[in-house]
Amino acid sequence: MTGGLMREVPVLVVGGALTGLSAAVFLGVHGVPSLVLERRDDILAHPRLRGLLPRAVEVYRQAGLERAILDRCPTATPRELVSVSARTLAEEHRPLSEVTAGEPTDARSPCAFAPIAQDELEHLLVDRARSLGARVLFGVELVALAQDADWVTARVRSRCGAEDTVRARYAIAADGASSGVRRALGIASRGPGTLFRMATMHVRADLSPALRGRRIGMAYLGEPAPGTTLGPLDDSGEHWFFGTARPDRCDADPAAWVRAATGLPDLDVELLEQVPGSGTKVFTFPIGARLARDYGRGRVFLAGDAAHLMPPTGGLGGLTAVEDAHNLAWKLALVLRGAAGPRLAATYEAERRPVAERATAQALARARVTWRLPDLDTEPAADIDSLVFGNRYTSTAVPGSTGSTPVPPFPAGTPGTRAPHVYVDSDDDTGLSTLDLYGTDPVLLVGSAGDRWATAVHRAAGLLDVAVEVYHLDPDVAEQHNLGPRGALLVRPDGYCAWYARDVDGDPDRVAEDVLRALLDRDPHGSPFPQRLHQQA
């Protein structure tokens, strides 16, 4: 193992599944090499997450992965891949779906829901991460972690028992719901914990007699027990994901449970291995909700399920995990490059933890209905769009924050919210969105008469030795960002609005410099957050 192992890396990522691999990809986009350690010998060939909400597709689009993701999705239209509830698969289906049955998302996003399976996605992520300079090692686990003011030091062990030491400037713990790193850091979690355990299987069977031409994305079934789920794994009509909330009762004869769920008593059922070569056909995992009290310590950050566990209802767990990695990557990149101070990385927790708290509450609200858990005390389910597109960050990395005024589902330029999507040229068919402007450096959008802001931000960027791209918007595009002719909007590399000016007011050079210093934690005197920034918003 030691022969090929880097001993010193900018970022060490513990866990090579959805979150860890996404982090390696996003760090790679920013030119930061990482080392990913994955305990398993390979990607888990197990049907887990079954689709990406549009915002997750947007961030993978920034990393050049959207086309590859769409190529690996079933060919059915989103409308055909509707989630339904029914007593058995053969009986009447009642539509349940929010996103998958929705109208095309064109107006709000260039991306739609992508029904890709997690193992397919992880294969793409490994390839992309490696092509961007990451080292992804399977069969290697973290056994101990320590840190001082400058370094994280990790003891790692390969499958053959060989041990080695790796030093990194930062570490991302993407080691899943039972995160050993979280426990080693002494970080407690709160929440209801495990609600029940779910058993899942990969089934090969011809379900066409039950479907009779109907297509589904996922079916939530009442038989043989509430909490039964069934959905297609590919386009063939032969491969199915089967899940049950009663592993204790299903264990004795899993095939009989599949027959009862489909309503086809004579069905031929074959259970396939979930980890090739392992003989494992039934996997169980916890359905529950838990949120880490802190998102890390010092140079170590928790991300994905290591930080937050939530029921899969609504697909919010995957989105939250992917956006965690996306939020952290650009911040670490700027800090490692010396372009930003360390407090920029610390804004990760201030921004992402409230999002996970909200997503967890909403996943629970959906779990209550989907799995008929009346005793679960939840808030009412909110509109899914507000969860996908309507988050608002409040931190020092949002210098123009205007506090906690309500956020509309599709905020247009409000500091702390995702910058809106507008097709750049509605007459051509390039499909270029304003979202395609974001990804690496901060971007300043200005109105048609916004030269003064452009000059001021160029000057400030030069002073701080950072790159900021400037774009002048056509009036109709500017309008959809709530931007007047003399206005300006600063957008961060993750596509979230940092600061907004309605007009040219006061001393733009001074304001632009203050804004960049605050965003990048580059205030030379360590003085409190500059109050005058608010006057511009």
Ligand X SMILES: Cc1cc2nc3c(=O)[nH]c(=O)nc-3n(C[C@H](O)[C@H](O)[C@H](O)COP(=O)(O)OP(=O)(O)OC[C@H]3O[C@@H](n4cnc5c(N)ncnc54)[C@H](O)[C@@H]3O)c2cc1C
Binding site for ligand X (CB under 6 A): 14-20, 37-40, 46, 48-50, 118, 141-142, 174-177, 180, 200, 283, 285, 304-306, 312, 315, 317-318, 321
For residue 12, give Cα distances in angstroms to 93, 112, 172, 228, 446: 47, 32, 6, 39, 38
| Whether the Cβ atoms of residue 71 and residue 17 lie closer than 8 Å to each other | no
Q: How many residues does the chain have?
A: 537
- CA 286 from chain centre, in angstroms, equals 20
Q: How far apart are CA 391 and CA 411, in angstroms?
A: 9
Q: Which two structure tokens, joined as six digits, stand for 96?
A: 């349940």
Whole-number minimum distance, CB 321 to ligand X, in Å? 5
Tell me whether residue 283 or residue 499 sits nearer to ligand X (CB atom). Answer: 283
Look up tokens 């490692």; give the residue: 336
Whole-number minimum distance, CB 314 to ligand X, in Å? 8
Whole-number minimum distance, CB 305 to ligand X, in Å? 4
Tell me whether residue 239 or residue 452 sits nearer to ligand X (CB atom). Answer: 239
Indicate the Cα dihedral angle 159, 162, 163, 169, nearest 10°: -60
First vs last Cα of the chain: how many Å apart? 54
Tell me whether residue 200 or residue 414 sits nearer to ligand X (CB atom). Answer: 200
Look up tokens 């107006």; give the residue: 107
Tell me whether residue 220 or residue 389 sits nearer to ligand X (CB atom). Answer: 220
Whole-number minimum distance, CB 47 to ligand X, in Å? 7
- CA 180 from chain centre, in angstroms, equals 21
Tell me whether residue 366 or residue 517 sits nearer to ligand X (CB atom). Answer: 366
Q: Which two structure tokens, joined as six digits, stand for 158?
A: 């390969």
Residue 488, strand partner residues: 446, 501
Whole-number minimum distance, CB 93 to ligand X, in Å? 19
Whole-number minimum distance, CB 217 to ligand X, in Å? 12
For residue 266, give Cα distances in angstroms to 86, 209, 332: 20, 11, 57
Q: Which of 328, 53, 51, 380 is nearest to 173 (CA)?
A: 328
Tell me whether residue 305 or residue 323 sits nearer to ligand X (CB atom). Answer: 305
Whole-number minimum distance, CB 15 to ligand X, in Å? 3
CB atoms within 10 A of CB 96: 20
β pairing state of 94-95 and 83-86: antiparallel
Tell me whether residue 46 or residue 481 sits nearer to ligand X (CB atom). Answer: 46
Q: Among all residues, whose Cβ is closest to ligand X?
A: 304
| Whether the Cβ atoms of residue 98 and residue 53 lie closer than 8 Å to each other | no
Whole-number minimum distance, CB 3 to ligand X, in Å? 19
Tell me whether residue 38 or residue 513 sits nearer to ligand X (CB atom). Answer: 38
